Each structure stands twice: as structure tokens, then as C-alpha cells.
Amino acid sequence: MKNLSFFLLTLLFGCDSGFFQTGEDQMLARVYDKYLYRTDIEDIVPEGTNPKDSTMMVKNFINKWIEEQLLIHAAEQNLNADQKNFRDQLENYRNSLLIYTYESHLIQKNLDTIVRDDEIYRYYEENKQNFELKENIVKVHFVILKEPPRKNNPLKRLLLSNDPADTEELDTYCRKNAFNYYLNDDWIPFSDLLKTIPIETYNQTIYLQNNKYVEFNDSSFYYFVRFLDFKIQESVSPLNFEKENIRNIIINKRKAQLIDKMRRDMLQQAMNNNGFEIF
């Protein structure tokens, strides 16, 4: 099919006489009794596109149009009347689309998307059994240097310190000297850390249990890593790691409650106004 449509397209654009004309509009392609005109493709090329790319975009569009029309023609010729009757399906699709659009409008207009921290905490405490870690996670600080630190360099001392003043000094040091660094206290998947720090381990659990601080180098960089905390796969996920997930869960529950209330109110109003009957 693609070879055939490409062949037709080649003929179309290879004609010495140019495009066919019908009145003031240009006829670009025909598939049996279906025609594609220049006005049908006026909006497919973004403004400012260079001529070469514009030509290619138009050719690709016509190519796809020919293929689609050939498939439609083949279906029309080979399917029986019952197989081509989509009236019920189209009506169901239209109804579903109307309902979805109305409910989306209702949600956009009335949904409260502000979720307080105490709501998140309460949901977490009541549903801890649902927050099982799917992988190991860590709290970690690390610094990556391109050159080995000089003798008496304060990097290790600063990295291992819990003094806020040392943390501030470490941040200043990293801004000036580090190729890359991470000093946040957020939980991150251990697998994400391994994408940046090439730690070699065959058992993540044992490694995390036995390493609070590591430093090593490869052919390109020098790595300094402090593990502040860790959680093992299948243990309860910490609140901070699930906070955004819980926020989305609460908002989705509100959406469902809003739609349910709308449907109940609509039913009650119709009952009060004799809006429907069951025979």
C-alpha cells in the first residue's frame, strides 16, 4: 500500500504540467472519486518553514491521504452493509464525549485542588499498608570532582558534618570546585543514584547496610558519597517520598465525589420535576 501511494505521489509531483486546476483551487491528488485540494492542506506547514522542509511535509501529507483513501475504498468495497453501519457506535461515542466534556467542565469549575499537609499526613497514617516500596531508596549527599582534592582539603570533613555552618561552607565549596553535587535531603531511588555515581554492588541491601560513606574514582572523576538514610524495598515508604502521590490520590477522590454528588443531585432534581419515568 505504501509503495503504491508513494508511486502515485511521485507521478503527481513529477508531472511537467504541474498540479491540475479546478476553478481557483488546485487539485493535488485523486483516489477514485475522492479529491484532495490545495485548500485542504493550507494549515499543515508552520509559518517560517524552509521550502525544502515544506515540500517534504506536503508530500508526506499527500502520501498519507492517498493511503488512507485507498484503505477506505477497499473497506467500502469489501464490507457488507451491517459491517459498515456505525450509527449506534457513533451515537454512543458522541454521548460519551458529551458526558466527559460536561464532567470535565464541572471539575474545572468546582474542584478544590488545595490539599493541606495535615490531610496528606492523615491519609498516609490511615493507609500505610498501601505504601510499600517497590525499590530501595536513599537520602544521600554526594560531590563529584574532576581533579583529586589537595592534601588537607576540607571536603570529607564538611560532607560528614551535621553542623549547618559546615553544610553552608560545603555548598560554597561545591559551587566553586565540583563538577556535580547533590546536597538535598529528599528521598531518591537508589537506582537513580547509580545513574550518576557508578557504585558497583551485587546486593544493594547489604551495600547500604554497610556503607555510610564512600569515596572512589574512575578514569574520569572522583566521587565522595555520604548516605544519610535508606529504606529497603518492600518496607513502608516514607511520607516525604509519597507526598505528591498522596496529594494526587486525594484530588482524584475529590473528583469522584464531585461527579457522584452531581449525578445524585441531577437525579433528585429530575425526580422532583417529573423529568423521567420508568414504564
Could you tell me the CATH number of the domain that includes residue 216? 3.10.50
217 within domain boundaries: yes
Q: What percent of the chain has pLDDT over 90?
A: 66
Instruction: Examine the pLDDT at 178 and tell me if it is beyond 80.
Output: yes
CB-count exposure of residue 262 (10 Å: 0-12, 13-18, 19+): middle
Q: What percent of the chain has pLDDT over 70?
A: 91
Q: What is the rounded distance in angstroms from the CA atom of residue 135 to the CA atom of residue 62?
A: 49
Both 52 and 140 in a single domain?
Answer: no
Report pLDDT for 24: 61
Total domains present in the chain: 3
Instruction: Examine the pLDDT at 22 and tell me if it is beyond 60.
Output: no
176 within domain boundaries: yes
104 within domain boundaries: yes
Both 165 and 146 in a single domain?
Answer: yes
Both 66 and 114 in a single domain?
Answer: no
Both 187 and 117 in a single domain?
Answer: no
pLDDT, mean of residues 36-53? 85
Both 137 and 226 in a single domain?
Answer: yes
Both 226 and 153 in a single domain?
Answer: yes
Both 36 and 120 in a single domain?
Answer: no
Both 194 and 226 in a single domain?
Answer: yes
26 within domain boundaries: yes
Instruction: Examine the pLDDT at 235 and tell me if it is beyond 50.
Output: yes
Cβ neighbours of residue 263 closer than 8 Å, sequence gap 6 or more? none
Q: Determine contact, residues 156/224, Cβ cutoff 8 Å.
A: yes
Both 200 and 174 in a single domain?
Answer: yes
Q: What is the rounded distance in angstroms from the CA atom of residue 185 to the CA atom of residue 248?
A: 22
pLDDT digit string, tens, across residues 91-124: 999 999 999 999 999 999 999 999 999 999 999 9
Q: State the Cα angle at 188 between 186 and 193, rounded to 5°.
A: 125
Confidence of residue 5 (pLDDT cuts 50, 70, 90): very low
Report pLDDT for 217: 94
Instruction: Examine the pLDDT at 7 and tell me if it is beyond 60.
Output: no
Q: Is 51 helix (H, G, I), strand (E, B) or coil?
A: helix
243 within domain boundaries: yes
Tell me what the pLDDT averaged over the chain comes to. Answer: 88
Domain range for 70 is 2-78
Q: Is 144 helix (H, G, I), strand (E, B) or coil?
A: strand
Of 34 and 4, more confident: 34
Q: pTM for the whole thing?
A: 0.65
Both 111 and 165 in a single domain?
Answer: no
pLDDT, mean of residues 23-40? 84
pLDDT, mean of residues 190-216? 94
17 within domain boundaries: yes
271 within domain boundaries: no
154 within domain boundaries: yes
Both 36 and 50 in a single domain?
Answer: yes
Confidence of residue 2 (pLDDT cuts 50, 70, 90): very low
Both 100 and 33 in a single domain?
Answer: no
Cβ neighbours of residue 1 closer than 8 Å, sequence gap 6 or more? 67, 70, 71
Report pLDDT for 61: 92
